[in-house]
Amino acid sequence: MSPPDWRFWSALFAATICLNYSAAADDGCENLKDPAPRIVACTDSINSGKWTGRNQAINYTNRGNGYRDKGDLDHAIADYDEAIRIDPEHVMAFNNRGVTYSYKSDLGRAIADYNEAIRINPKFAMAFVNRGSAYSDRGDLDRAIADYGEAIRLDPKAAVALYNRGIAYRAKDDIDRAIADYSEAIRIDPKYVMAFNNRGLAYSTNGDTDRAIADYTQAIRLDPKSAITFSNRGAAYRAKGDLDRAIADYNEAIRIDPRDAMAFNNRGNASGDKGDRDRAIEDYNEAVRLDPKYVSAFHNRGVAYLAKGDKDHAIADFDEAIRLDPKNAQAFYDRGIAYNAKGNRDRAFADFEEAVRIDPKDAKAFYNRGIAYKDRGDNDRAIADYSEAIRLDPKYIMALNNRGIVYLTKGDNDRAIADYNEAIRLEPKFVTAVNNRGDAYRAKGDFERAIADYNETIRLNPKITGAYFARGLSYLFTGSTEKALADFNQASAQIPGNAYLALWADIAGRRINLPSRLAQASSRIDMTAWPAPVVKLFMDQMTPADVLAAANNPDAARKKGQVCEANFYSGEFSLAKGMKDEAGRLFRLAASDCPHNFNEWNANAELKALGVVP
């Protein structure tokens, strides 16, 4: 599930100033809200010849405010410069020039101007608020909080200072203090729309989506045209799983502001959650069209393409997300998954490595790198990565399950069982762990417990073919051959072309003197690929020596596995023919040479049944 993008703003304070003389009311320069008429009126006042000194500086400041509100920041700064030249102690000119520098992201100059405003008037709460906002934008949250605190001390009813301090606390993950500040800002100003919006964000962070939705709803009641709040309420509904309401809110946000890239991105997330990947991609397309540098939209579109199986488009989008944000650990992580799905394990491994380097606290990155190590046969490093993932997230059931798999591969059955136990304790319906624990008990020769776990696996999900197969093996090695055959037949019915299932059904059938059905089954099996030679052995079309020769392969790992199977199944064939000594010899080869998997376990079980010490 892709995380939503949220939006919140710090507030800056700038002000127009009234002239000292009553005659100023005739000019109207400071009273006009529309910037264009204000600029004209202030220009007339400047050129009238009536004003000098501080009053003329005020005219320039007010015209600067008009230029600033119009978006003409350079002309605004020029007017503030002139106001300060005329009156070097003009506190509002310094403050407002600082605001304009903040708009230009020139935070160093902005802070210098706020410093000067505070020097001139140490009780000027507005300048402390604005300097706090500049520090916050620089990431210096402690200084920001200190300035907001001073502003509140100077003016306890400064709702904007409380609001901005709430933003800073939220950025520091001090959510309770953030909520307290937003609540106080709302008490002072019950119509403070963005305070409701941001308190909603804080509640969402705490997982209290009902309170979050209540705050967003109140903000919307106060300002029905707030696209931001509709978008944020949509994210809260999505978190509750109410995707239709989420999409309705995103629709309204987009209707209010058709250029709101964030709303398109978030609506795409909700559509993706509903499984409608095509609509999701359409929304992500629009988001990146509106904002070609929108990292989350590229990343989320990549996730949608990956879900559709379009790995190449997914990788292209992850590439762009990484180009725009080279420290985006999640994009590296997801690109690694895409490369792994393409079979490019080296690139996948490199991406998981980078994700871990960027974010050493990302349990998922360690988990996936653990998978990559396991695929490389480096079991010790795989275990180390799964262990780190579990340390970071002790409830990470997939990491526990996968560490159990590696322990089982290493033959450490007790540790494997311990991991499966913990995974099942955390999630009693985690069917994969229940099935895998059955395998671990079977590897130990504890067939009774193994059968109990396979029973539970089948109860939880009757379509898991492997559980029928593994239970069949357990029944076979405890002498319940008819039950074993029933399970092998059930498994084979689910996957008719699986050669191994057909072989085991034949092995069980022979033990209770049933006629072989392998010839019929072979019509559904690919008889050109391994283990076709084993099938032919049981159909008396090849000898054990022929099967061993056929097991040869230029790939060393594949050859080892096929030779293991050749020895084991030749042992079963010899046992069926009554040649127990030969069967024992071949089972010992399998037990000693096979990897720690079911062939080794089965060989040990057969040796035990023959009365031979493995």
Token output for 97: 């020039």
Question: Is 370 in a helix, a strand, or coil?
Answer: helix
The pLDDT tens digits of the residues spanning 178-190 come to 999 999 999 999 9
Question: Is 150 in a helix, a strand, or coil?
Answer: helix
* Residue 277 clears pLDDT 70, i.e. is over it: yes
182's enclosing H/E stretch is helix 175-188
* Residue 169 clears pLDDT 60, i.e. is over it: yes
Q: Rounded mean pLDDT of 324-343?
A: 95
At residue 15 the predicted structure's pLDDT band, cuts being 50, 70 and 90, is: very low
The pLDDT tens digits of the residues spanning 510-566 come to 999 999 999 999 999 999 999 999 999 999 999 999 999 999 999 988 999 899 999
Q: Rounded mean pLDDT of 14-19?
A: 43
Structure confidence at residue 39 (pLDDT): 93
Token output for 585: 């010899």
CATH superfamily to which 16-121 belongs? Tetratricopeptide repeat domain (1.25.40.10)
At residue 495 the predicted structure's pLDDT band, cuts being 50, 70 and 90, is: very high
At residue 593 the predicted structure's pLDDT band, cuts being 50, 70 and 90, is: confident
According to DSSP, residue 496 is labeled T
Token output for 118: 């505070």
The pLDDT tens digits of the residues spanning 504-525 come to 999 999 999 999 999 999 999 9
Structure confidence at residue 599 (pLDDT): 66
Q: Measuring CA to CA, which residue among 395, 396, 469, 405 is closest to residue 432?
A: 405
Report, at the CATH architecture level, how domain 191-257+264-271 is classified: Alpha Horseshoe (1.25)
* Cis amide bond preceding 531, omega within 30: yes
CA dist list (Å): 258 to 136, 146, 263, 290: 30, 39, 9, 10
Q: Measuring CA to CA, which residue among 323, 254, 332 is closest to residue 294?
A: 323
* Residue 611 clears pLDDT 90, i.e. is over it: no
Q: Rounded mean pLDDT of 570-596?
A: 90
Q: Measuring CA to CA, which residue among 408, 412, 390 is closest to residue 400?
A: 390
Structure confidence at residue 473 (pLDDT): 94
Rounded CA-CA distance 28/258 in Å is 36
Rounded CA-CA distance 437/446 in Å is 11
DSSP string, 316-353: HHHHHHHHH-TT-HHHHHHHHHHHHHTT-HHHHHHHHH
Q: Are 275 and 269 in contact (CB under 8 A)?
A: no
Structure confidence at residue 7 (pLDDT): 44
* Residue 2 clears pLDDT 90, i.e. is over it: no
Q: Rounded mean pLDDT of 291-297?
A: 97
* Cis amide bond preceding 533, omega within 30: no
Token output for 360: 């050493």
The pLDDT tens digits of the residues spanning 397-451 come to 999 999 999 999 999 999 999 999 999 999 999 999 999 999 999 999 999 999 9
Structure confidence at residue 29 (pLDDT): 76
* Residue 18 clears pLDDT 80, i.e. is over it: no
Structure confidence at residue 22 (pLDDT): 28
The pLDDT tens digits of the residues spanning 125-156 come to 999 999 999 999 999 999 999 999 999 999 99
- CA terminus-to-terminus distance, the chain: 49
* Residue 14 clears pLDDT 50, i.e. is over it: no
CATH number of 122-186: 1.25.40.10
Q: Supply the mean pLDDT for the chain.
A: 92
Q: Are 59 and 42 in contact (CB under 8 A)?
A: yes
* Residue 606 clears pLDDT 50, i.e. is over it: yes
Q: What whole-number percentage of the chain has pLDDT above 70?
A: 94
